[in-house]
Amino acid sequence: MIRIDGVIRPLSWINERVLKAGRAVGIAAVAVMVAVTILQVFCRYVLGSALAWPDEAARFCMLWMTGLMAPTAMRRGGFVAIDILPTMLPAFAARVLNLFLLLVSLVVLVVALQIGWSEMTGLGGRFASASLYLPLNLEFSEWYRIPRSWMMASLPVGLVLLISVGVELVLRNIAALMGHDVSLLPESEAETGIQGVD
């Protein structure tokens, strides 16, 4: 029983820090999305000459924002669910159900990660992006065309983080079932701030 606490605490510590970094990148990504989209409107409407890359660059940012921020949402219990049944059940039964639901989620995530990895490393990942380049030197004379896999990596990375969060939540649930005094969701994440599109 000491062992499970001993696993939860470091995992929680890691998740907290990694997700915080993920959120920081996500925040930057949102800012870039807005900026390049406005830049495109400006170039097309004011200068009369559109740029090729903002569309793809903005999508690049959106995908990474999703991959890096969705795990935080899961850790804060922010994924939409109908929770009538869990709230109606007695505490113990609710925890057993919750554990089952978390395990189903984990299976989905692990299968998705397997497929995602082969997708990213497969032929589809070798496709060149249509308009994204990286400078290879400081004189900007040589450019590297970014492959699609850089964009596709956002989802597998997000899945790894989601699995890490899922494992933490499962362990917390098991510990609670065993009668330990742990909360099912990390307290540090109590402030949800997630509303959904509605």
Partner 1 sequence: DYTIRAVANSNEADEDYDGLQVFKSYVEAASNGAIEVEIYMGTQLCSNGAECLQGVADGSIDVYISTSDGASGLFPYLQVLDLPYIMADDRVAERVLTGDFTRQLRDMTLADSGDTLRLMTIGNTGGWRNFANTERQIQTPEDIAGLKMRTVVSDLPQELVRALDASPTPIPWPELFTSLQTNVVEGTANGITDIMSMKFPEAGLTHLTLDGHAYMGAMWWMSNQKFMEMPEDMRMIVVDGFSHLQQATFESPKRKSIAAYEAFAEAGGEVYVPTPEEKQAFKEAAQPVYEWFTGSVDGGEEILADFRAAVEEAEQELTAERTRDIQ
Partner 2 sequence: MLVWFLPLFLVFLLIGLPVVFGMLAAPGLLLWLNGQERDLTLLYRNLYNGMDSFPLMAIPFFMLAGELMNRGGITTRLVEFAQALMGHFRGGLAHVNVLSSMLFAGLSGSAVADTSALGSMLIPAMEKQGYTRRFAAAITAASSVIGPIIPPSGIMIIYAYVMGESVAALFLAGIVPGALVGIGLMIVVKLMADKYDFPVASKRYSWGERGQASLKAFFPLMTPVIILGGILLGVFTPTEAAAVAAVYAMFISLFVLRTMRFAELPDVLGRAGLTSAVVLLLVGAAMSFKTVVSLSQTPQMMAEFILTLTENPLLLLFLINVLLFIVGMFLDAGPAIIILAPILGPVFTSMGVDSVHFAIIMCVNLTVGLATPPMGLVLFVASAVSGERVTTISRAILPFLAVEILVIFLITYFPAISMTIPRLTGFAN
- Residue from 12, 72, 129, 154 touching partner 1 (CB under 8 A): that is 129
* 44 belongs to the binding site for partner 1 (CB under 8 A): yes
Look-up of token digits 């690049």: 60
Look-up of token digits 């065993």: 178
> From partner 1, partner 2, none, which one binds at residue 34 (CB under 5 to 8 Å depending on kind)?
partner 2
Q: End-to-end distance of the chain based on CA atoms, in angstroms? A: 42
* Rounded least distance, CB 139 to partner 1, Å: 18
Compose the 93-122 pattern: x for residues touching partner 1 by CB under 8 A, - for all others: -------------------------xx--x
Look-up of token digits 């402030």: 191
Whole-number Å distance between alpha carbons of 152 and 63: 8
* 23 belongs to the binding site for partner 2 (CB under 8 A): yes
* Rounded least distance, CB 150 to partner 1, Å: 13
- Going by C-beta distance under 8 Å and a sequence separation of 6 or more, which residues neighbour residue 54? 36, 37, 39, 40
- Residue from 29, 148, 154, 166 touching partner 1 (CB under 8 A): that is 148
Whole-number Å distance between alpha carbons of 71 and 57: 22
The H or E element containing residue 44 is none
Q: How many CA atoms lie within 13 A of 76 on its CB side?
A: 17
Of residues 16 and 119, the one with the C-beta less far from partner 1: 119
> From partner 2, partner 1, none, which one binds at residue 38 (CB under 5 to 8 Å depending on kind)?
partner 2
Number of other residues whose CB lies within 10 A of the CB of residue 183: 12
Whole-number Å distance between alpha carbons of 82 and 97: 13
Of residues 132 and 165, the one with the C-beta less far from partner 1: 132
3-class secondary-structure state, position 141? coil
Spell out where the chain has E strands: 128-135, 143-147
- Residue from 7, 14, 31, 50 touching partner 1 (CB under 8 A): that is 50
The residues binding partner 2 (CB under 8 A) are 23, 26-27, 29-31, 33-34, 37-38, 40-41, 45, 55, 58-59, 62-63, 65-66, 68-70, 72-73, 78-86, 97-98, 101, 104-105, 107-108, 111-112, 115-116, 119, 151-152, 155, 193-198
